[in-house]
Chain A
Amino acid sequence: MLSVAAKAGETAVGLAYSPAMAALARRRPGLTDYLEVPFELLRHMPAVAEVQEEVPLLLHCASLSVGGFVAPAPQLIDDIAAEAERMAVPWISEHLAFISADPLPGAESDEPAQLTYTVCPQLSEEVVDQVARNVAALAPKLPAPLIVENSPLYFEMPGSSMNMVQFVSRVVEATGIGLLLDLSHYLIAASNTGFDAEREFERLPLENVVEVHLSGQSLQSGIHWDDHACPASERQFALLERLLERSRPQAITFEYNWNSAFPQALVEAHLERARAMAGR
């Protein structure tokens, strides 16, 4: 079993897992430094982990509801911890979002509402405080540091009192947590809520960035959407360049995992480009 072990000060460059990307990684040893696998996929398809015999893995989660008010089940936390331990991952990434919430008043069931996709929380001090409580509760139970990923913002959450940059900064300030900076999510939030992405970028806690995500975006029905079937834009590479001038993330991950026909030549070119940008 291989694990991600970047040399000190060196940035690993990898791909989000999909069957097609795993096949590519197997065909071309050394092309990607790692594959990033969702915990939720491993839970339903444990055989996916077998790829770690040939390619190191990172663990990405979407179940811990770090930005929410309903705590994850203890068994779920134990399962994530066990998986992280088995995979010997250097960190565990999770969305700065919620995936479960209380039932509506008067609902037939008093069970929490479980979603299939993470949702950006209200951007407020109340949620910052809750994230801090969640992180404090989770960290001792996990065998590797937890880092959080900025969410895309597709609609304004009522009651929000800060923009995404301020929210992420406040969370880092309150918890000291590492950041998975998703540049596509960042640009989506800027476009959909109207802040200047380039100007605000320096205000992000860039020194806390552990990992970077790049993927595509699409504009439909007047809203900018995350789209892992499209390549990262030049705008994202420009932001990556600025980030690398300020800090040294440990990993850069391309999320090209929605379309098995994603052009292989483009994947290879982007991996090489990121390596060159990171001085490798």
Chain B
Amino acid sequence: MSARALHAVVAAGLRDPRLLGGWAADPAALGAYGSEAAGIDLAGLSGFAGLTAKVRHNGLRDDFPLTFRLLAAAGLEARLFTDYLFACAREGRAFAPAPARRGAELADFILAWADPRSAAGALLIDVVRHERALARLRCGGPGGGEAKAVPRDRPLRLADVPVLAGEIELLELGHDPDAIAAELCRAEPALGAVAPSPALLGYRRAPDGTTGLLRLDAFSFAFLGLVDGEASIGSIAAALGLPPAPPVAAAAGQLAEAGLIALRGTRTRP
């Protein structure tokens, strides 16, 4: 078999990972191209194809720095990108040209691919969710929400119907992203050393477009998750298993004071 013919087989496999998958399942099909083709290291060739996929995602490192550092520290980059390449090929899907879309699709894949039972997998799921939410914040314009601010001339009442002031994505993570980042900054990260530490986070875009990461207490996290512009403070309290009493309204008032919720129909004060 000539080198020229061998190069053709290798190139065809790299161009279309479905061929690599087919050859792995049926080595005789590979041998049909020539005796030396049968000797191609399909695992090595697949890994190389994965490397090329990884390089094509280097532009996402700014939006997903912890994700890439964690993948490298855990030795998962090669396997992840090889599996991702093959998955995209099976679906007949090319990598999205727009970085935001490409990042979102990779994040979706990782969340389905990572094994939450392993220490690295559990951390990976948390950092991807965290960085995906931050990336979404960076991409958007001004936050929505029909109300701009809460009137401060009276306390909130249980019958009031709150709406979100701006937009907020709520995530409950199993590990604190700051703790993961601190470990990944070490020369030789010990991923098992990052202890589980549930974090309740809000990724918020205010009506004026400013963004921020909020660390929330359990009440605020649960309350904000139920604000839909339809439910009153009293019914939200009931949904949370709390008595519809003035303290709930007062706690909601603190969220209003922080500018996180407003009342339907209210307007920003000049």
Contacts and interface: CB of A to CB of B under 8 A. Distances in A.
B7 A126 contact: no
A119 interface: yes
Contacts of B62: 260-261
Interface residues of A, number: 43
A101 B10 contact: yes
Contacts of B78: 220-221, 223, 225
Interface residues of B, number: 42
B47 A221 contact: yes
Contacts of B77: 218, 220
Contacts of B58: 229, 258-259
B11 A115 contact: yes
B213 interface: no
A259 B7 contact: no
A114 B7 CA distance: 12
A55 B33 CA distance: 49
A225 B44 CA distance: 11
A101 B65 CA distance: 36
B134 to A, nearest CB: 15
B112 to A, nearest CB: 20
A198 interface: no
A37 interface: no
B6 A158 contact: yes
Nearest to B65: A261
B216 interface: no
The majority secondary structure among interface residues of chain B is helix
B190 interface: no
B270 interface: no
B105 interface: no
Contacts of B14: 115, 117, 119
A220 B76 contact: yes
Contacts of A156: 41, 44
Interface string A89-125: 0000000001011111101000001111101011010
A159 interface: yes
Interface string B1-42: 111111111111011000000000000000001001111110
Contacts of A175: none
Contacts of B79: 220-221
Contacts of A159: 1, 3, 6, 36, 39
A119 B3 CA distance: 13
A68 interface: yes
B6 A155 contact: no
Contacts of A137: none
A17 to B, nearest CB: 13
A119 B9 CA distance: 12
Contacts of B4: 69, 101-102, 130
A119 B10 contact: yes
A49 B33 CA distance: 44
B99 interface: no
A157 interface: yes
Interface of A: 68-69, 98, 100-105, 107, 113-117, 119, 121-122, 124, 126-127, 130, 154-159, 192, 218-221, 223, 225-227, 229-230, 258-261
Given A119-B10, A218-B75, A230-B72, 13 more contacts: A101-B4, A101-B11, A102-B5, A102-B7, A103-B8, A113-B11, A119-B48, A127-B3, A130-B3, A155-B47, A157-B40, A220-B79, A258-B61
Top 3 closest pairs, chain A to chain B, by CB: A155-B44, A101-B11, A158-B39
